[in-house]
Chain A
Amino acid sequence: EAGVVQSPRYKIIEKKQPVAFWCNPISGHNTLYWYRQNLGQGPELLIRYENEEAVDDSQLPKDRFSAERLKGVDSTLKIQPAELGDSAVYLCASSLEALRRDEAFFGQGTRLTVV
């Protein structure tokens, strides 16, 4: 069974440009998470979806970040415009049920460099 698939693996853009990341969760996983991991830090949650509903986006910088999960499967995370401080690894994770009863599986991440 395929794991969580993310693309692209790497992205280099100039500041003020837009960028988008794509995530395909494990088949059947209802819960999808986007995390951001800065160098030397642990991942921090940006947004959590239950099916197609964003149930926790309190830490998503809504002035420049947006996300969607159409049909409750694939998800995209967009940044427009990107800033230098957005350079990080963006991790997508999915779980079958709520975390208290289930494991979250992470994708390989997208490493974003803003120059």
Chain B
Amino acid sequence: QKEVEQNSGPLSVPEGAIASLNCTYSDRGSQSFFWYRQYSGKSPELIMFIYSNGDKEDGRFTAQLNKASQYVSLLIRDSQPSDSATYLCAVIPTQGGSEKLVFGKGTKLTVNP
């Protein structure tokens, strides 16, 4: 089992809809979870991080964490064409004691005007 798994998509939603991106992780002791956005040909940029169970909202973005289910999600409300990108879920695992981000493969999101 890979450490971080995401549905690679592509996920296509109409403008104004809610986009839901999902991620599961294998290291039950993981404490830190991140969502990065990566436009084609560009570098990843952090859009959300979450450490505690529950929801964390920032503008149109909501991250949800359920440690018991080892599941983290990202909701994008009122999706815009400019949200079209690949969304990378990343986790800092506890195994090995290394401060590194372990990324999933990413989910490609397309928001159609």
The distance in angstroms between the C-alpha atoms of A43 and B103, with both chains bound, is 6
Residue of A nearest to B8 (CB): A40
Which of the listed residues B44, B88, B92 has the most CB atoms from chain A within 10 Å of its own CB? B44
In the bound complex, residues from chain A placing their C-beta under 8 Å from that of B90 are 42
Is the CB–CB distance between B46 and A104 below 8 Å? yes
A63-71, A73-81, A95-103 - interface stretch: A95-103
Known: A43-B103, A100-B31. A56 touches B98 (CB 8 A): yes
CB-defined contacts of A48 to chain B, threshold 8 Å: 98-100
Determine if A107 is an interface residue (Cβ-Cβ < 8 Å): yes
Distance, CA A103 to CA B45, complexed state (A) = 10
Which size bracket describes the interface of A in this complex? 20 to 34
**CA gap between A33 and B106 in the complex, in Å:** 20
Q: Is A45 an interface residue (CB 8 A)?
A: yes
* Interface check B105, CB cutoff 8 A: yes
* B side interface size, CB within 8 A: 23
Q: Check A45–B44 contact: CB distance below 8 A.
A: no
Pair A108/B99 contact, Cβ less than 8 Å: no
Q: What separation, in Å, do the CA atoms of A43 and B90 have in the docked complex?
A: 10
- State whether B99 touches A100 (Cβ < 8 A): yes
- A44 at the binding interface (Cβ < 8 Å): yes
- Whether A100 and B8, one on each chain, are in contact in the complex, defined by CB atoms closer than 8 angstroms, is no
Query: Shortest Cβ distance from A54 into chain B, in angstroms?
Result: 12
Interface residues in B70-113 (C-beta closer than 8 Å to A): 88, 90, 92, 96, 98-106
Of the candidates A42, A45, A100, which one forms a contact with B105 in the assembled complex, judged by CB atoms under 8 Å apart? A42
Q: Which residues of chain A are within 8 angstroms of B20 by Cβ–Cβ distance?
A: none
A interface residues, Cβ below 8 angstroms from B: 31, 33, 40-45, 48, 55-56, 58, 91, 98-100, 103-109
